[in-house]
Amino acid sequence: MEATLVIIGLNFRTSPVSVRERFWMSDSQRSEALQELIRAEGIDEVMVLATCNRTEFIFWASDPTEGANSVLRFLTHKFNLKLAEWSNFYRLVDDTALLHLFRVATGLDSMVIGESEITGHLLDAWELAKRSGTTGRFLDAVLQKTMAVARRARTETGVSAATVSVPYAAVALSTEIFGSLADRTVLLLGAGKMSELAANYLLNAGARKLTIIDRTTDKARDLAARLGGRSAPFSELLLEVSEADIIVSSTSSPKYILNRSDLDILIPSRQNLPMVIIDVAVPRDVEPTVRSLAGVYLYDMDDLERVVQQNTSERQAANDAAEQILLRELQGFRNRLVSEQVVPTIVALRHRLEEICGQELTSLEDQFGPFTEDQQQALHSLASHITQRIAGTMARELKELPEQAEQEQLTEAVQRLFHLPSARRTPTAQSN
């Protein structure tokens, strides 16, 4: 089986947030995963993309089946993946995987169609893999092309115009409960980009009092200064929660920071005033059972998806135009990528021909030498010319074959005829 691109993952289309949060990975976890997977059977190069809406293992596989099994073993060992949960994951190979990656980078596979944040997440995942030494010629080429395609699709279509964002959805849900947001009290848990976007939407919708809490005090203070709000220490979390009308939580905590037991105590003091909690964190920040408390309206990423989808149907024309660009780019790049796979065989062939010519020149000199310097130079020049002609002709034949199957057959024939090593990774490099 020929080496190719493989993607194994799950996203908001295939699994609810309760499943996605189980397989979310922090930077340190992704670094560890990269080091383990690069040594696994069937995997030559690998990167891991993990966001609130998806976790994907993107790898160049010398053996796609064995590589997929390596990822499955990793998930089973590290995340206690059950057989019944495997249905949440998709396995994409070759052109299907490449097109999926194009769609992810362009924002066509996002909850918010056309959103640009995913491009940054993808670049971060690529950079982490490069720092970890787990990417090479093929994945780097794939990611370079992916970013170029995404730029072209965004530039030439309206796919990113008037994007309905997750922060917008937070405002829409809050408005459903309160009607007007005028003078509502907002509490941000977490001082990241999502919190800032949500705060701007809420303030523009009329909210006035804004408080920010983050475990990093300086981050909370800086964001509060930019937004005209105030920061509070994490030790005052419950006090601030009790006074908030709208809470937007987007921390990176691996555990709940708001529990049912906390709100059981706080809610009576609010005298039946409603509280809207928008939990955009994965893993979730708020215990799901909070939803059953009277007067508490808890929304997580699954709820936000519903609002976003209701407001994106009119953008279908731009999405279709972007899809056509991706499909056109796919075919040309796939042909180039396939041709790249024969490069190691061409290089090995050239070295083999040079070795054969060198042996024959040595034999010729033993029989008929010694030769003058001019004669030796002429003979070596002739041998080099023959090597270049044969290797060049073979390279053109291999690269220009239109069908991948034919290319694979001819490549294998050349390897066998000239006793060349296979272009795949050696067993030593694959072993754990």
Residue 345 · residue 398 · CB < 8 Å: yes
Joined together, the tokens standing for residue 264 give 């059981």
Catalytic residue among 52, 129, 307, 337: 52
CA atoms 315, 317, 322, 326: torsion sign: positive
Other residues' Cβ atoms within 10 Å of the Cβ of residue 22: 18
Residue 183 · residue 203 · CB < 8 Å: no
Rounded CA-CA distance 395/283 in Å is: 50
372: DSSP letter: P
Q: Measured at the alpha carbon of residue 133, what is the angle toward residues 116 and 76, in degrees to the nearest 5?
A: 80
Rounded CA-CA distance 14/247 in Å is: 28
Q: For the stretch 216-237, what's the b/e string if a residue is b when 16 or more beta carbons lie within 10 angstroms of its beta carbon? A: eeebbeebbeebebebbeeeeb
Residue 65 · residue 7 · CB < 8 Å: no
Rounded CA-CA distance 157/205 in Å is: 29
DSSP reduced 3-state for 274: coil
CA 80 vs CA 75, 88, 173: distances in Å: 7, 14, 35
Residue 105 · residue 122 · CB < 8 Å: yes
Catalytic residue check, 52: yes
Write out the catalytic residue numbers. Answer: 52
